[in-house]
Structure 1
Amino acid sequence: MELAGKTILITGGTAGIGEQMALQLQGKGAAVIVTGRNAERLEAMRGRGFEAIQADLSMPSGAEAILNAVGDRDIDILINNAGQGVDHDFREAQPDAVAADDCIYANLNTPIRLIAALVPRLKQRPRAAIVNVTSGLAIAPRAGGPVYCATKAGLRSYTQAVRAQLVGTNVSVIEALPPVVETELTAGRGGKKMAAGECARQIVEGIERGRSEVNVGLVKVLQVVHSLSPALARKVMLRF
């Protein structure tokens, strides 16, 4: 897909992978709208030439704020990138159910709401796309993050089903599956992490090439292991 001249909406576009995607897409000639919660980061993105919308995606008002700000403008590509983590490990402490609800809403409910609202106008564009950023953890979960993993697995299933529904239309449905990336979400976690800029580069390249699934970095290896033995993939990932 040619990105120059496209209008692209990226949730969670003021930091991490989303910020890097916004910068790279802008560099390719796209008009990029970003969303975020932090007022200072939003203002910084405006200073770089982006339209920026303040929205908390962990509640219904977040999607409403985005849709109200966008109005009836044409959108060519929707990138559901925003992600929220939550501590939910019974080995450490009693989990917070309200925090889990917020995570579920931000990672699963809001993307569904935005897709449902924007598919009609995406269909009106010559060529359009929905890009859902899930995770390698959508393939096999880690024991320490069951709620986060469940939301990403849910979004993966939703993505696959919606892709089947939109076959034959002008709307491509793309899933991007990052590995562990150096972002605020993974701060404090050990191990090797991919740079956010490189992760964004691979996702943007996948959009340009029209791939339906973009396995980033080590997720390629996880996909191979899972294709050979789902049980082995789960056993390995549950250790983390």
Structure 2
Amino acid sequence: MRVAGKIVLLTGGSAGIGREMARQLQAKGAQVILTGRDPARLAAMAGEGFETIAADLSSAAGVDALAAALGEREIDILINNAGLGVAHDVRNALPDPDAADGCLYANLSAPIRLITALLPRLRARPEAAIVNVTSGLAIAPNTASAVYCASKAGLRSYTMSLRSQLAGEPIAVIEALPPVVDTQMTADRKTSKMPPEECARQIIAALENGHDEANVGMVKVLRAVYSLSPALARSIMRRF
């Protein structure tokens, strides 16, 4: 798919991977509408020439407000990138169930609800795409991030089913699976992190080249290990 001239709705586009995708898509000639929750970051992106919409996608009301704010705008590409991380480890103390609910909604329910709301206008375009950003943890979960892993695995499963449902229609359905990327969400992680610019580049390349999946960075290795031995892949990831 050529992204030049396409109208892109990118959620979570004011920081991290989303911000870099917005910049790279804009440089390739796409018109990017991005969402975010932080007013200062949205203002900074508006200063770079992006159309911005304030949106909190941790509830149904927030998703519906975003769809309403779009009005009748045409959309060629929907990128569900916004997401939340949450600590959920029962070994030391009982985790916050409300925080778990918010993570599950933002990472799983919100993309499903937004896709459902925007599918008619995507179907009206001669060529369209849906990109769902999951995680390498959707393939094999780690130990400490149980709810985050579950939400991303759920979105991975949904993406596969949606791709089958839309087979034969001119709507590509792409799953992007990043590794650990250097973003605000991973600020406390001491492990090696991929620069968000490179992660964004690989996701956009998968979109342009018509790939069903963008296995980014070390996720390629995890994917290969999982294809040979799912049990081994799960055993490796449980160490984290």
Partner of residue 198, structure 2: 198
Structure 1 runs (4+) greater than 4 angstroms displaced: none
Shift of 1:61: 1.8
Please, which runs of 5 or more residues in structure 2 have no aligned partner?
none
Distance 1:68 1:239 in 2: 44
Counterpart of 2:25 in structure 1: which amino acid?
L
Listed one character per residue, the Cα deviations across residues 130-183 of structure 1 (whole Å, up to 9, x for unaligned) are 000000000000100000000000000000000000000010000000000000
Structure 2 residue 93 is the aligned partner of structure 1 residue 93: yes
Listed one character per residue, the Cα deviations across residues 177-219 of structure 1 (whole Å, up to 9, x for unaligned) are 0000000111111111000000000001110001111100000
Counterpart of 1:17 in structure 2: which amino acid?
I
Report the RMSD for the aligned CA atoms in angstroms.
Answer: 0.6
User: What SS does structure 1 have at the residue aligned with 2:224?
Assistant: helix
Partner of residue 158, structure 1: 158
Distance 1:68 1:191 in 2: 41
Structure 2 residue 30 is the aligned partner of structure 1 residue 54: no
Distance 2:226 2:15 in 1: 31
Distance 2:100 2:52 in 1: 27
Q: TM-score, normalised by structure 2?
A: 0.99
Please, which runs of 5 or more residues in structure 1 have no aligned partner?
none
User: What SS does structure 2 have at the residue aligned with 1:131?
Assistant: strand
Shift of 1:119: 1.0
Counterpart of 2:83 in structure 1: which amino acid?
G
- Map 1:36-115; keep pairs closer than 5 Å: 36-115=36-115
User: What SS does structure 2 have at the residue aligned with 1:52?
Assistant: strand
Shift of 1:9: 0.4
**In percent, how many aligned pairs have the same letter?**
64
Distance 1:229 1:25 in 2: 36
Partner of residue 25, structure 2: 25
Q: TM-score, normalised by structure 1?
A: 0.99
Counterpart of 2:74 in structure 1: which amino acid?
D
Distance 2:208 2:18 in 1: 17
